[in-house]
Chains A and B, each alone.
Chain A
Amino acid sequence: MHLARLLRCVTLCLIAVAGSGFAADAQAQTGSIRGTVLATDSTTSTRRPIPGAQVTVVGTQIGALTNDAGEYTIRNVPPGTVTVRAQRIGFTPSDVRVAVSAGATATADFSLVPVARTLSEVVVVGYGTTNRQNVSSAIASVTATEIANNPTAGVDAALQGKAPGVQVMQNAGNPGNGISIRVRGPASINAGNQPLYVVDGVPIIQENYSQLGMGGQDVNAVSGINPDEIETIDILKDAAAAAIYGSRGSNGVVMITTKRGSAGKTHITFSGYNGWQNNPATIPMLDAKQYVEIFNESAKNDGYDPSDYDFEPGVDDAQSYDWQKAVFRSAPVRNLQLGATGGSERTSYYLSGTYFDQQGIVIGSRYRRGAGRTNLDFTATNKLTVRTSLGLSREDNERIEGDGSLDGVVTNALGMQPMRPVYRADGSYAGRPEGLRYSNPVALANLNSTELETMRAFGNLEANYQLASKLRLTGRGGFDVLGLDETQWESPQVDRTYAASASGVGKSGHTGVSKYLGEGFATYEALSAPDNHLSIVGGASVEYNKSTLNFIRGEGFTSGFKTYVRNAANVTEYDGAQTTNNLVGFFSRADWSLKERYLVSASVRADGSSRFGEDNRYGLFPAASLGWVVSEEPFARGLQKVMNLKLRASYGATGNQGIGDFAARALASGAPYSGTPGSAVTQLANPDLRWETTREFDTGADLLFFNGRVSLTADYYLRNTSNLLVQRPIPSTTGFTTYWGNIGDVRNKGVDLGLNTTNVQLGGTNGFTWRSILTMTFNRNEVTSLFDGQPFTTGINGRETSIAQVGKPLGSFFMYKFDGVDPQTGDAILRDVDGDGEITANDRMIVGNPHPNYFGGFTNTFTLKDFELNTFLQFSQGNDVFNMMRIFADDGACTYDNKFADVMRRWQKPGDITNVPRMSYDCASGADAISSRFIEDGSYLRVGEVTLAWRVPAKIAGKARLDNARFYVSGRNLHTFTKYSGYNPDVNSAGSDENVIIGTDYYAYPLPRTFTLGISAGW
């Protein structure tokens, strides 16, 4: 029904747009314009053609794209003097006035000046594009080349360190893993914290819809976007930029533009790489000898008789096994992409097919994606253009249990006692008879399977009609349809698992998610003089979201059968559910520039969401920004020679509706008992529930020195998020424990910087150049208000170690304070905060902050002749990590889990000075208490990439009929300099859905180190 309504709406829009257009479009006598677009290098005075540049007749929809020789032809141009504009990302646009007469061909050649991500590139904003020069809000841009060939599945991971103000946390290294992105810090406590992703103008499905919990290592739908198909990514950071997306803009907006075709002969591109990955760092663990020594010492320390000791030296430590070696492997990764672009003046296309295959460095894990894209541009008349964007993808994700699970592969490899063998003498997997206290991780990885298959189609159809010379109408219908099929098999052959006692467990789940969107907007160029330009856009949008799920789990499979419940003895779990939510939005924005130096922008969006109570459905999100190009002022004429300076300031409001559907209502669910249907109220109503609102002030400056050799963009921001959507804890005497309310405020403030420099530029085109890009972000997060000031704590597996507390950063670590080891007793000294002489829950305090003081990335590119060397360093300073592995791996021999080798520094006799407490068989040394002893400095500097590329010289390439060809060798995640004792300090075992538990490492999958060999070529 929703689809029908949407189709009706879109059809009407398109008819309205197109119908009136065709009628009026009588073919008059026209002329043509042709010419070339060349790039000028000011230092060398050489010129080269710019392919794919957009050449348009200003004020019309008529235009063309240049071919590989930089040539273009525009036909059907009405006679008269027109302004022709050429633009291309990375260049300053240029205008030429030319007189066109009927039946003749006029010439307009362009010479564009390249700008290294400076003031003049094309920037995608909501419902339109603009030039960097005219932007007065905070928008960061990343181009295709910066994220290309990154051997990870998702575009989100590739953004790490590339854009100021954007924090990318990998969480874990398993292929296809969900990534956490925070634009200018986390603001929400329970509602979503991920930015909104908009692909070719259409918001996409981006959440985690997997039904199988894999212990923190989650997935999300962003991995379905193929990085190879992306042309640019623009990140709307401040509220002024994001307010046009109103109710979903408060975490920033990631605008993704996919590649499109250009007129000219067919151009084929091929790229591919093959790589090898391994685990860059294993954690030093105890061997059997050390293990036995430590454990017998623990019994001795607590006064046990040697005859009671658990282990016998010489017997129990005769053999030692390296369990990490058993689960890690060297694994291949490869990517193949084939694309074609081309077209005539009226039609152009971009076609692409990609296959990506990454095996995990932990056995049993793998991610594959096949993706295809068809983007078509069709100029129907000189007033009407139609374009389609269609992406198809299929993902196959073979997953393994991780992190918080008792059957985690990495978890059990680290927990296993070192004297326990992986295999029996007959080659089968060792289990309980061999003394394994947990399930064998190698058996888990090889015998169990979890497969997630995602099929996706997303795209849109867009029509643009130039209704009048100043008025353009755009109608757009978009869709995103996602189908997830999951199966899981827990083999009964893995000893010490539940499945072993239940003769195997099989699960199947299907989730269908759909989003349909229709929108129409008008763009009115009210004033079009270069020194007085006003553009107004206004429109409406409607969006329908729906998800359905089915799930079934069965137990009891006879030998030879697996996975599918048809063969199970019992069905033990089932589910079936559906939920919907709809959004309606009205939006408008005006951009005015006067004398190319005064910029004013204002926007407003009114959004209605079905998620909120009847009285609070609509929210209003206004924003305004101002820009002043100081260097254009007459008084600054002198300055202009050395620098270009723009000052910006903005203020705006954005919203967050990232809560469950129907969260405001009192609802009852089925509550069967003994086979009889029953019901129970399961949710308390809050009719007052409303949007979470972020109000943000931003002020910044864009500077360009020395003819673009140095450019700096700097912003200061202050974001206050209020009416936080919080599942507030309430007295359980109500029968409920939480209740959705608008409670509390969070503040993020900080500075983000982007600095591009051309450090060295020698000789001609083949000379040596050295360019650098530095991005840095300094963010301070603070919870400024909570309901009644009540703090609340949360954590993984019931261990409440992260807190939201007024005056402190969100997700501060909250636990006992470790004040060293008593040199006399060897016991841990835990601070008695309340001074009652006992260590109780009341003695917990804030002991760490998971947020970095600053983070960023540093890219250096060196070119000489046909060689290019690219290096990328990534860093984060001051973030604490709760190494939660140590609650078992450094617990003073309280559990039988193997220990980090560092415990050999333990206290052994009175007088020993160390910070590792004595071993205690009875868990009496305080080593097992969750304390600040487990909080580590997670600062790191990572050699993220070193790539050496060789461009095949044109002479040779030409012989092979290639336009270009490039070979490269690349190393990623080569080394991480850190004091952190786990695998990876860039970690979060709570996954990408979690807001408060940050920087907690509970046996997270390590990030792989990758070496790739690649080629790209075009002909």
Chain B
Amino acid sequence: MTGIPANVNPLTRLEIMRLRFLMPAALLIAAAGCDSTLTTQPADRVPAEQVIVDASSARAALVGAYDALQSLDYYGLGIEMLGDLSADNADHVGTFQYLGQVDRNQLQADNTAVTDTWIAIYDAIARVNLILQKVPNVPGITDAERDQILGEAHFLRALHYHNLVKLWGDVPMPLEPLNSPTEAAAMTRTPKADVYTQILQDLAQAEQLMATPKQARQASLGAVRALRSRVLLYKEDWQGTLDAANSVGAMGYVLAQNFGDLFTDEGTDTPEDIFRVSFTAVEFNEMGYYYLFDGRWEIAPTADLYSAYSASDLRRDLTVGEDDGDYEGTKFPTTIGAEDLHVIRYAEVILNKAEALARLGRLAEAVTEYNAIRVRAGLLPHVLGTDVTSQTDVLNAIWNERRLELALEGDRWSDLVRTGRAMEVLGLTPDRAFQQLYPIPARELIVSTGLTQNPGY
């Protein structure tokens, strides 16, 4: 458009003067503080750069690494639930169909429970990796404290990778924080053997760095050695398992006097505790909510588990409750979930040791070991030559004891797979043998170029 049409009055001088006054004023107002207006800071979170910069923030990051264990997809429910639901200890009785898949060993690659547990474990690993990367260079921290923090972080990483390798076999193994999704997408699966090597290396470093001998709700030397006995049992290094178990025993751990003391509402300490995850009414677990009639009753102990206990077994009613053919998991005292859950306790170390001894042919010593568990349960001790004679008998007795002692604590499925009994015990047809490894979650395969699926899925 060019020129002003003749019929339009131009602005009067007064109007122009007013404009001259107002335009700059308006611009001034508009421009004032634009940048400061657009720079806002979060009030209830902090920038990630402020994490792990001094002693107290390093300690806070370690606490954050334990916090990851409380996830409902990890020790808060997920990993224990999978361990019994995939096996013959628990049935799916609720409405979440994906748990039905776990129960029937008909996992699909997109199974929600399997996927969420995988995610929770890698979340926990990422927190540990950040500590292992940044804490060595943090100023203003004593060497002793730095070592303890790093030692605990190494222990946690060993625990996480062992959980992964038990359930999925070869897994991607980041040892440093991955900040770029592109870099993460290119990661491939590390062979199982190499993962085991890394686990043992982490445990060795943890033992070297850590000073605290015992503390139940954080990692300690006792926990490092106990986990080593478990890891070596899975590696079928019998002598190593035995040595590790003995090193735990030498620290003065003993069985709690009553089995029930281990699973009280309050989660009171017992001399049997090695490592448990702390829960409170606020940061709760959902074991009771899932296993009890009063809760969702989403999953239930199997009739088979109930009948596996003899009537005189003190553990039966403390593990499984029966009502008119329905079963609930009484090992978990309330639906509130404020009690601390065991990750590893001395009874397991004894069973690890018993099995190592049995495998090494030292049957009498093996029977003595697991008899401690039987006696505590109010059962008569086995006599070698009478109740059990062969190595097979002893191993079966240990495995049975392991099932009854650790029922609903998430041990059963990996134990069946480890000992090659899963197919037979669960009555799986050969075409379902591939289910002994969980599927790599479908979502990971979609977003990663480097990953391959386990066979069969």
> In the complex, A954→B234 CA distance in Å?
95
B250 at the interface (CB under 8 A from A): no
C-beta contact mask, A406-427 vs B, less than 8 Å → 1, else 0?
1000000000000000000000
Q: How far is the CB of B388 from chain A (nearest CB, A)?
A: 36
In the complex, A584 has a CB within 8 A of chain B: yes
Q: With the chains together, A225 CA to B122 CA distance in Å?
A: 46
CB-contact partner of A574 in B40, B43, B282, under 8 A = B282
Smallest beta-carbon distance A663→chain B, Å: 11
| B residues less than 8 Å from A674 (CB atoms) | 63, 66, 217-218, 278, 280
Distance, CA A406 to CA B42, complexed state (A): 36
Chain B residues whose C-beta falls within 8 Å of the C-beta of A672 in the assembled complex:
63, 67, 283
Say whether, besides A608-B34, A668-B45, A669-B45, A734 and B184 are in contact (CB < 8 Å): yes
Contact A501/B457 with A5-B33, A13-B29 known, Cβ cut-off 8 Å: no
A12 within 8 A of B: yes
Are B19 and A571 in contact, CB atoms less than 8 angstroms apart?
A: no
Contacts A677-B63, A923-B100; A735 near B37 (Cβ below 8 A):
no
Judge whether B447 and A730 touch: CB under 8 Å: yes
Are A679 and B444 in contact (CB-based, < 8 A)?
A: no
**One of B8, B9, B125 near A735 (C-beta < 8 A):** B125
Q: Which residue of B lies closest to A23 (CB)?
A: B18
Query: Are the CB atoms of A570 and B118 closer together than 8 Å?
Result: no
Q: Are B447 and A790 interface neighbours, CB within 8 A?
A: yes
Interface status of B425 (Cβ within 8 A of chain A): no
A: residues with CB less than 8 A from B are 5, 9, 12-13, 16, 20, 24, 406, 432, 467-471, 473, 498, 500-502, 520, 522, 526-529, 532, 534, 539-540, 542, 544, 555, 570-574, 576-582, 584, 586, 592, 608-610, 614, 617, 661-662, 665-669, 671-685, 728-737, 739, 790-793, 797-800, 840-842, 887-888, 895, 923, 928, 930
B127 touches A580 (CB 8 A): no
From B48, B95, B172, A666 is in contact (CB under 8 Å) with: B48
Collect the chain A residues with CB atoms within 8 Å of residue B122's CB: 732-735
Residue of B nearest to A682 (CB): B45
- Contact residues in B for A12 (Cβ distance below 8 Å): 25, 29
Please give the distance in Å from B73's CB to the nearest CB on chain A.
Answer: 11
Q: Is there an interface contact between A542 and B37, defined as CB atoms closer than 8 Å?
A: yes
Interface residues of B in 355-408 (CB under 8 A from A): none
Q: CB < 8 Å: which of A735, A798, A841, A928 contacts B108?
A: A841
**With A677-B60, A798-B96 known to touch, is A528 a contact of B67 (CB < 8 Å)?**
no
The CA of A544 and the CA of B34, in the complex, are separated in Å by: 12
- In the complex, A895→B96 CA distance in Å? 11
- Number of residues on chain B facing chain A (CB within 8 A): 100
- The 0/1 profile, CB within 8 Å of A marked 1, for residues 224-262 of chain B is 000000000000000000000000000000000000000
Interchain CB contact under 8 A, A468 and B25: no
By beta carbon, the residue of chain B nearest A897 is B95
Chain A to chain B: the 3 pairs with minimum beta-carbon distance, closest first: A735-B126, A678-B63, A501-B294
A528 to B66: give the CA distance in the assembly, Å. 73
Residue on A with the closest CB to B52? Answer: A679
For window 119-140 of chain B, which residues contact chain A by CB distance below 8 Å?
119, 122-123, 125-127, 129-130
Taking A470-B9, A679-B57, A729-B447 as given, write out 7 further A-B residue pairs in contact, using a Cβ cutoff of 8 Å, ordered by the A residue number.
Answer: A529-B7, A577-B44, A578-B43, A662-B45, A731-B187, A733-B122, A733-B184
A671 to B19, CA, bound (A): 57
- Which chain B positions have C-beta within 8 A of A669? 44-45
Q: B22 to nearest A CB, angstroms?
A: 6
Residues of A within 8 A of B295 (CB): 498, 501
> With A502-B335, A584-B34, A617-B38 known to touch, is A406 a contact of B296 (CB < 8 Å)?
yes
Q: Specify which of B9, B22, B65, B217 lies most central, judged by the most chain A CB atoms within 10 Å of its CB.
A: B22
B66 touches A678 (CB 8 A): yes
Q: Is the CB of A527 within 8 A of B22?
A: no
**Residues in chain A near residue B96, CB distance under 8 A:** 797-798
Residues of A contacting B39 in the complex (Cβ-Cβ under 8 angstroms): 610, 614
Assess the A731–B184 pair: CB atoms within 8 A. yes
B174-182, B314-322, B415-423: which lies at the A interface? B174-182
Given A13-B29, A731-B184, A790–B98 Cβ distance below 8 Å?
no
On B, residues with C-beta under 8 Å from A are 1, 5, 7-9, 11-12, 14-15, 18-19, 21-22, 25-26, 29-30, 32-34, 37-40, 42-51, 57, 60-70, 95-98, 100, 108-110, 112, 118-119, 122-123, 125-127, 129-130, 172, 174, 177-181, 184-185, 187, 217-218, 278, 280-284, 289, 292-296, 334-336, 338, 441-444, 446-448, 457
- Give the complex CA separation of A472 and B184 in angstroms: 58
Q: How far is the CA of A532 from the CA of B3 in the complex (A)?
A: 13
- B residues less than 8 Å from A470 (CB atoms): 9, 11
Taking a contact as CB atoms under 8 Å apart, the answer to whether A680 and B127 are in contact is yes
The residues of B that contact A498 with a CB separation of less than 8 Å are 289, 294-296, 335
Which of these, B12, B19, B42, B457, contacts A665 with CB under 8 Å? B42
Let me know if B38 and A468 touch, CB within 8 A. Answer: no
Whether the Cβ atoms of B95 and A406 lie closer than 8 Å is yes
For residue B15, which residue of chain A has the nearest CB?
A468
Closest CB-CB distance, B215 to chain A, in whole Å? Answer: 10
CB of B40 within 8 A of CB of A580, answer: yes
B5 to chain A, nearest CB (A): 6
- Given A733-B122, A735-B125, does the pair A799, B336 have CB atoms closer than 8 Å? no
Residue of A whose beta carbon sits closest to that of B292: A501
Find chain A residues with CB under 8 A from B45 CB.
662, 667-669, 682-683
Distance in angstroms from A205 CB to nearest chain B CB is: 18
Q: A13-B29, A570-B281 are in contact. Are A731 and B185 (CB under 8 A)?
A: yes
A residues near B448, Cβ cutoff 8 Å: 731
Q: Which residue of A473, A571, A733 is within 8 Å of B22 (Cβ)?
A: A473
When chains A and B are docked, how far (Å) is the Cα of A586 from the Cα of B46? 31
Residues of A within 8 A of B187 (CB): 731, 733
Contact B46 A668 (CB under 8 A): yes
Q: 5 A-B contacts, Cβ less than 8 Å apart?
A: A526-B8, A570-B338, A731-B185, A732-B441, A928-B97
A739/B119 in contact, CB under 8 A: no
Bound CA–CA A736/B284 (angstroms): 22
Q: Is the CB of A570 within 8 A of B50?
A: no
List, in ascending order, chain A residues with CB within 8 A of B457's CB.
840
Q: Tell me how far the C-beta of A736 lies from the nearest C-beta in chain B, rounded to whole angstroms.
A: 8
The closest CB in chain B to the CB of A895 belongs to B95
A725 to chain B, nearest CB (A): 16
Pick from B29, B100, B109: contact of A520, CB below 8 A.
Answer: B29
List the B residue with the shortest CB-CB distance to A2. B37
> When chains A and B are docked, how far (Å) is the Cα of A386 from the Cα of B113?
61
Which residues of chain B are within 8 angstroms of A13 by Cβ–Cβ distance? 26, 29
Contact A679 B281 (CB under 8 A): no
Q: Is the CB of A571 within 8 A of B281?
A: yes
Kindly list chain B residues whose C-beta atoms are within 8 Å of the C-beta of A592: 1
Chain A residues within an 8 Å CB radius of B19: 467-468, 471
Residues of B within 8 Å of A544, CB to CB, are 37
Closest to B336 in A: A502
Given A502-B336, A520-B26, A790-B447, answer yes or no on A527-B5 (Cβ-Cβ < 8 Å).
yes
The residues of B that contact A800 with a CB separation of less than 8 Å are 110
Query: What residues of A have a CB within 8 angstroms of the CB of B66 in the complex?
Result: 673-674, 678
A500 near B294: Cβ-Cβ < 8 Å? yes
Question: How far does the Cβ of B210 sit from chain A's closest Cβ, in whole Å?
Answer: 18
Q: Does A673 contact B47, Cβ atoms closer than 8 Å?
A: no
Residues of B within 8 A of A540 (CB): 26, 29-30
Assess whether A668 is in contact with B47, with CB atoms less than 8 Å apart.
Answer: yes
A581 touches B34 (CB 8 A): no
**How far does the alpha carbon of A5 sit from the alpha carbon of B39 in the complex, in Å?**
14
User: How close is B202's CB to chain A, nearest CB, in angstroms?
Assistant: 17
- Determine the chain B residues whose CB is within 8 A of the CB of A574 once the complex forms: 282
* CA–CA, A490 and B244, complex, Å: 50
The answer to whether A680 and B67 have CB atoms under 8 Å apart is: yes
B residues in contact with A581, CB < 8 Å: 40
The interface residues of chain A lying within 8 Å CB-to-CB of B98 are 798
Q: What is the CA–CA distance of A671 and B124 in the complex, to the nearest angstrom?
A: 12
Q: What is the CA–CA distance of A666 and B19 in the complex, to the nearest angstrom?
A: 46
Do A527 and B26 form a contact, CB below 8 Å, given A467-B19, A501-B292, A735-B122?
Answer: no
